[in-house]
Amino acid sequence: MNEEHTKEHMGKLIIARHHESEWNKLGKWTGTRDRHLDEYGFQKSNDMGVLIKDISIDCAFASMLVRSIETLSCILNVCEKYTVPTEHSAALNERDYGDYTGKNKWEMEKVLEPLEFEKLRRGWDYPVPNGETLKVVYERVVPYFLEKILPRLQEGKNVLVVAHGNSLRALMKYIEHISDEGIEHVEFPFGSIVIYDLDMEGHMIDKEIRETASHVPA
């Protein structure tokens, strides 16, 4: 199957990170702790909806955490997509930061060695006491994508996924064939939406980024 034929029949994958939560504002590692969006997070989630009003959304996915569910609701409301089928799964949850959960990352930056701090935040398989590495997140996100999301795209449906910085980085690693070393330099900014055209295996053909300016201390 040639690329153009594939692109014509595959739906678009639209991925977005939840916006500012109560703990993002405080600079805390949130991980799997459930925290609501704050006022700014709700406002910017609405702005994210404006970014994709021109795209038809056929179905949507979010994690089980309230900040991603609230962001998804804002986006769909702004897009006036009130009956879009949505599914929620813990497979899309943020990385579990274990013993670092609730700690202020900027205070921890002063305590940890610079390389250790960067590895902790962005590394592929850097251990966290009682938590998850990005590799572990990848091992739950990608099978879920292949089983639940990719088939919808193969049916020609446009799919919106709202999740978290690390679960989306894990997904991008698969989609874009990013190396273990390369993923350490990839961040998914707040307020950004990435729109992919994929092949039948779920790998990138084209990529578009749309953004609303966002200032989040995270």
Active site residues: 18, 94
Residues present in the chain in total: 218
The terminus-to-terminus CA distance of the chain in angstroms comes to 42
Beta bridge partners of 209: 194
Please give the distance of CA 18 from its chain centroid, rounded to a whole number.
7
Handedness of CA 178, 102, 192, 158 (dihedral sign): positive
Please name the residue that has the structure tokens 């692109």.
Answer: 7
Going by C-alpha positions, the residue among 159, 175, 169 that lies closest to residue 192 is: 169
